[in-house]
Amino acid sequence: MNEISRLIQSLSSGDFPALARAITLVENELPGADTLLQNLTIHEVPLIGITGPPGVGKSSLVNALLRRLLEQNSRIGVVSVDPTSPFNFGSLLGDRIRMSEHFLHPNVFIRSMASRGSLGGLSDKILEVTDVMKAARFDYLLVETVGVGQSEVEIAGLADTTLVVFVPDTGDEIQAMKAGLMEIADIFIVNKSDLENADRTVALLKAMVAPKNAASRDGWQIPVVKTVSANASGIEELLAQIKQHATSGHRNQRRVLFIAEKIRRLIIKDKMKNIDLRRLRSELEAAMATDDFNLYRFATHYFHQ
C-alpha cells in the first residue's frame, strides 16, 4: 500500500494528524495531492458558511456554536478563511484566541487559511480542503469568511446553509450591501444584540426579507436571529434554525455554478501545465520584433499543447 492510500485510510478513520497532513498536501499542490483527491470518499456533511463584515463576531459565533454542538457530542471541523495577506498573522491569531477554548478538544479540528491566490476572496483551495474534511467523519463543517465582493457568491456555492451576520445599527451598511449578501443568506443573524438598536436592525432585516420569503418556492422562510455570542443568548435558536434548514430539503441553486467554475479552472490549469511562461515571453519578444507580428496567430502556436 502506498503512502497516499495509507493517508486516505487514516484520515477516513478520523485521525487529525493525517487530516492536517492531507490538507497541507492539497493546499500546496504537493506530489500525491491529485491522487488523494481523486480517491477520497467524500461524505455528505452539512457545511455551514458564516459570513459578514469584519468584527461583527463571526469567530465568536463559531465558538458559541462549537460549545453547543460539542455538548451534543458532535464532531466538528472549522475552517477560518482570512482575507488579509498571508503575512498578516494578527487576525489569524485573533480568531485562534477566540476559538482557543476548543483548540485541544478531541472532537474539534480547526484550520485557518489565507485567501491568497483567489480572485474571489475565498481561498483557491477551499473546496479541496472542505472535501478532504468531508472524508474525515465530521458531523458538521463550519466555514467562516469575511463577506467581500465575490466571496459572497463563492461561500453560497460552497455552503449548504449560509449565515449572514450583522450587528445593531448597521442600517446604512445593510441598505448598501443590497444584492450581494442579501441574496445569499439562508439565515440572518443580528449579533451583539446586547448593544442598542438591535430590535430596529432585526425589524429592518425582516422587512427586507419579507418579499423574498413571500415568493419562496421551496418553502424556506429566511429567519432573522438575534444573538449575543458572549453569553450564548440566541445560540439555541440559531442552532435549531440551522438544523431545520439542513433538513428542509432546500436545494442550493448556486452549487452547480460554483462546481462548474471550479472544473473550468481545473481544465485551464491542466491546459497550462506544459506551457513554460518564461519561454513564451522570450518567444513573444522575438516575434514582436518582426514586422508581421499578429498576436492571434502567435497564440495558436500554444494551442493543443
Ligand X SMILES: Nc1nc2c(ncn2[C@@H]2O[C@H](COP(=O)(O)OP(=O)(O)O)[C@@H](O)[C@H]2O)c(=O)[nH]1
Residue 156: its H or E element: helix 151-158
Give least dist CB 58 to Mg ion, A.
5
For ligand X, the closer CB: 139 or 194? 194
Supply the minimum distance, in Å, between the C-beta of residue 20 and ligand X: 22
What are the residue ranges of helices labelled H in 28-136? 33-39, 58-71, 89-99, 126-134
Burial of 238 (0-12, 13-18, 19+ CB in 10 A): buried
Say how far apart CA 186 and CA 257 lie, in whole Å: 18
The nearer residue to ligand X, 136 or 142, going by C-beta atoms, is 142
Stretch that binds ligand X, among 55-63, 178-186, 246-254, 297-305 (CB under 6 A): 55-63
123 near Mg ion (CB under 5 A):
no
Residues 225-244 that bind ligand X (CB under 6 A): 228-230
Q: ∠ CA 17-21-25 to the nearest 5 degrees?
A: 170
Which residue, 182 or 228, is less far from ligand X as judged by CB? 228
Binders of ligand X among 190-209, rule CB under 6 A? Answer: 191-192, 194-195
Identify which of residues 97 and 257 has a Cβ nearer to ligand X in the complex.
97
Query: What is the distance between the alpha carbons of residues 167 and 169, in angstroms, rounded to a whole number?
Result: 7
Residue 115 interacting with Mg ion (CB under 5 A): no
Least distance from C-beta 247 to ligand X, angstroms? 27
- Residue 95 makes contact with Mg ion by CB under 5 A: yes
Residue 54 lies near ligand X (rule: CB under 6 A): yes
DSSP state string for 207-221: HHHHHHHHT-SS---
Instruction: Answer whether 13's CB lies under 8 Å from 24's CB.
Output: no
Nearer to ligand X, 59 or 115 (CB): 59
Segment 84 to 103, residues that bind ligand X, using CB under 6 A = 94, 98
By CB under 5 A, what part of segment 39-58 binds Mg ion?
A: 58
Binding range to ligand X, per CB under 6 A, among 151-159, 181-189, 222-230, 282-290: 222-230
The cell 475565498 sits on which residue? 122
CB of 60 to ligand X, least distance (A): 3
**Residue environment code for 59-89, b if the CB has 16+ CB neighbours within 10 A, otherwise e:** bbbbbbbbeebbeeeebbbbbbbbbeeeeee
Q: Parallel, antiparallel, or unpaired for β 161-166 and 140-146? A: unpaired
Binding site for Mg ion (CB under 5 A): 58-59, 95
Chain positions contacting ligand X, by CB under 6 A: 54-60, 94, 98, 191-192, 194-195, 228-230
